[in-house]
């Protein structure tokens, strides 16, 4: 009950237990383990597909590896040096010919290939509708691949801290905008508060496989769509 909360959680800015750090190569295994142990259990699409840690490992390893070389990702470590939250980011650039870098779904099993297909759909939309969305070609941008706060530390300002660090990183490196594919209604609301606008929305009930069956059915979660979102500056 709310009335029993005598001392509200200390915000991360005032809590010496939390340390904001760049994600380095030596953090790779910790980062992957964090995603498999907490993010996987709370992300709506992974939950809808019932992805196990064994099934998800190749997919999340690829996402982490694709971002490490950009040196634009951040994590927050708490007590015991455990990861409490993380933003996996990479720097990209839109071409002027509608091409884009696709994830090969054949690298994964049947469940994670569906996640790869959705990300490819969003990347294709961004590439093909660049001019309509008024986004510049051949300019660097920040792509927030994953923003995740451990379920034990939600509500303590960690996501805000990571978003601020990520966006300031992008601006300092000359990026023109930031994009993300938000698959959780909570993250969609958070990004909207931070000035992200929706470029494209994929409704789960309309996203079907070749047999006409709904691919993502988030029965126990209010999330009903995935959103491609952008923040300009």
Cα–Cα distance, 86 to 66 (Å, whole number): 15
Number of separate domains in the chain? 1
In a domain, 215, yes or no: yes
In a domain, 6, yes or no: no
Q: How many residues does the chain have?
A: 233
Tokens of 86: 């993380």
Neighbours of 78 (CB within 10 A): 19
Q: Are strands 197-203 and 225-232 parallel, antiparallel or unpaired?
A: antiparallel
Q: Which position has the token pair 């910790």?
A: 30
Is the pTM higher than 0.75? The answer reads yes
In a domain, 7, yes or no: no
In a domain, 147, yes or no: yes
**Residue 176's CATH number:** 3.40.630.30
In a domain, 61, yes or no: yes
In a domain, 8, yes or no: no
Domain extent at residue 132: 15-232
Residue 8: its pLDDT value, please? 38
DSSP letters spanning 191-204:
HHHTT-EEEEEEEG
CA 138 to chain centre: 23
Give the residue-averaged pLDDT of 179-203.
Answer: 98
Q: pLDDT tens-digit profile of 50-108?
A: 999 999 999 999 999 999 999 999 999 998 899 999 999 999 999 888 889 999 999 99
In a domain, 203, yes or no: yes
In a domain, 1, yes or no: no
How many percent of the chain have pLDDT more than 90?
A: 88
């Amino acid at each position: 009950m709310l009335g029993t909360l005598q001392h509200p959680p200390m915000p991360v800015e005032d809590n010496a237990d939390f340390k904001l750090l760049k994600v380095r190569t030596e953090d790779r295994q910790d980062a992957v383990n964090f995603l498999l142990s907490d993010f996987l259990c709370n992300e709506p699409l992974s939950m809808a597909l019932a992805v196990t840690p064994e099934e998800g490992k190749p997919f999340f390893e690829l996402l982490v590896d694709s971002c490490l070389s950009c040196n634009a990702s951040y994590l927050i470590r708490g007590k015991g040096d455990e990861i409490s939250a993380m933003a996996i980011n990479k720097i990209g650039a839109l071409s002027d010919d509608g091409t884009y870098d696709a994830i090969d779904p054949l690298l994964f099993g049947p469940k994670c290939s569906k996640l790869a297909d959705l990300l490819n759909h969003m990347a294709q939309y961004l590439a093909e509708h660049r001019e309509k969305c008024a986004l510049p070609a051949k300019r660097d941008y920040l792509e927030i691949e994953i923003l995740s706060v451990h379920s034990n530390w939600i509500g303590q300002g960690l996501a805000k801290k990571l978003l601020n660090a990520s966006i300031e990183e992008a601006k300092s490196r000359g990026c023109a905008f930031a994009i993300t594919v938000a698959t959780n209604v909570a993250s969609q609301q958070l990004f909207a508060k931070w000035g992200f606008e929706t470029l494209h929305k994929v409704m789960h009930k309309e996203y079907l496989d070749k047999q006409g069956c709904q691919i993502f059915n988030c029965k126990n979660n209010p999330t009903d769509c995935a959103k491609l979102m952008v923040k300009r500056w």
